[in-house]
A and B are shown apart, each in its own frame.
Chain A
């Protein structure tokens, strides 16, 4: 079946270092969404990418959708302790209204 995988599963960085998480789908996606879940909290929508090769920025966060629309990445420049949490990508399951969430990347930032 359709799968969405993320790497790495965990990442520990020193505050100020950069961080990147990668999302790979087994099928072509019409769009991809990114969510952030703080420890003990619920996922919060960050952004949606729709176009092939699309790049969007939110302050220190840069999101990219691959040319083949099967992969995506989230890059954080100069991490801060407020960036701690788990980042999920999610893609629509073909022919349905449901989304398949990636396995998530848990980010820890050491001060």
Chain B
């Protein structure tokens, strides 16, 4: 079955530590996205990528970094510069078109907590 796999499901970060969240998709989608969701809140865009080796900052990119070396993979690193990393992180993918009109498919998410 095609889909998006995020790992790990739960992650704990120590002070001053960088952690990387994995996102892999086998839907052959060009576009991939990372969102942050805080309890009872909506989704805020961290980074997005429309094609391999290219990505753009979203609304809350500070303290995060990404790479897009392969079409299937879009890992997110939460750096020590992100002072409030505790949240639910969602990865999504979609087909790429000239205009934004494709549904996004989401992974099951990673819950990150700070120790």
- Chain A residues with CB under 8 Å of chain B are 30-31, 33, 35, 41-45, 48, 50, 88, 90, 92-93, 96-104, 106
Interface residue range, chain B:
20 to 34
Of A30, A41, A96, A104, which contacts B101 at CB under 8 A? A30
Q: Would A88 and B50 be within 8 Å (CB), given that A30-B100, A42-B90, A43-B106 are in contact?
A: no
- What is the CA–CA distance of A44 and B43 in the complex, to the nearest angstrom? 13
Q: What are the residues of chain A within 8 A of B106 when measuring CB–CB?
A: 42-44
Given contacts A30-B100, A48-B101, 7 further A-B contacts (CB under 8 A): A31-B100, A33-B103, A42-B106, A43-B43, A43-B90, A98-B100, A103-B41
B98 to chain A, nearest CB (A): 9
The 3 closest A-B pairs by CB, nearest first: A92-B100, A45-B103, A42-B106
